[in-house]
Amino acid sequence: MPEPEQKRPRRLTARKKFQIYLETRSPDAPIGEILRRYGLHLKDLRAIEETVEQSAISGLKVRSGSRSKKQDVSPDEYERLALELREKEKALANLAVENQLLKKAEKLGLWKKER
């Protein structure tokens, strides 16, 4: 009695397609056996390969592009931002000194922290 023809799965998940892709990457992978196991044809495997490779390329483009985006800034804007940064650094340094002085005064009993 002949074996019943294996039914083709209605829809493979992305994870399953990636698993098939990885299984077939080995040079000595039994491609025909893998395809039969999943009920696929060679054209289905080629479509999976193309999708995985395009997705990998577009995923890498997104990551590398987001880090290297630089905006041109006019010299006037740059100078304004540099001045603002220096002012903020100076204010932060003053607050740090003031904080240390208050801590010392509290230790010496010259100032009592309100709680």
Query: In terms of pLDDT, which residue wins out, 25 or 69?
Result: 25
At residue 8, the pLDDT reads 55
In three-state form (DSSP H/G/I as H, E/B as E, the rest C), the secondary structure along the chain is CCCCCCCCCCCCCHHHHHHHHHHCCCCCCCHHHHHHHHCCCHHHHHHHHHHHHHHHHHHHHHHHHHHCCCCCCCHHHHHHHHHHHHHHHHHHHHHHHHHHHHHHHHHHCCCCCCC
- Count of structural domains, the chain: 2
Closest CA to 31 of 18, 46, 16: 46
81 & 106 share domain: yes
Query: In terms of pLDDT, which residue wins out, 82 or 110?
Result: 82
Q: Are 55 and 25 in contact (CB under 8 A)?
A: no
57 & 79 share domain: no
pLDDT tens profile 17-56: 999 999 999 899 999 999 999 999 999 999 999 999 998 8
Closest CA to 20 of 3, 4, 5, 42: 42
What average pLDDT does the structure give for the chain?
85
- CA torsion sign for 71, 72, 77, 80 is positive
19 & 49 share domain: yes
Which structure tokens are listed for 103? Answer: 């801590």
For range 44-71, the mean pLDDT: 80
At residue 5, the pLDDT reads 54
Q: Is residue 110 part of a domain?
A: yes
At residue 53, the pLDDT reads 92
78 & 111 share domain: yes
For range 2-28, the mean pLDDT: 79
At residue 22, the pLDDT reads 93
Among 1-5, 97-101, 104-108, which is the least confidently predicted range? 1-5
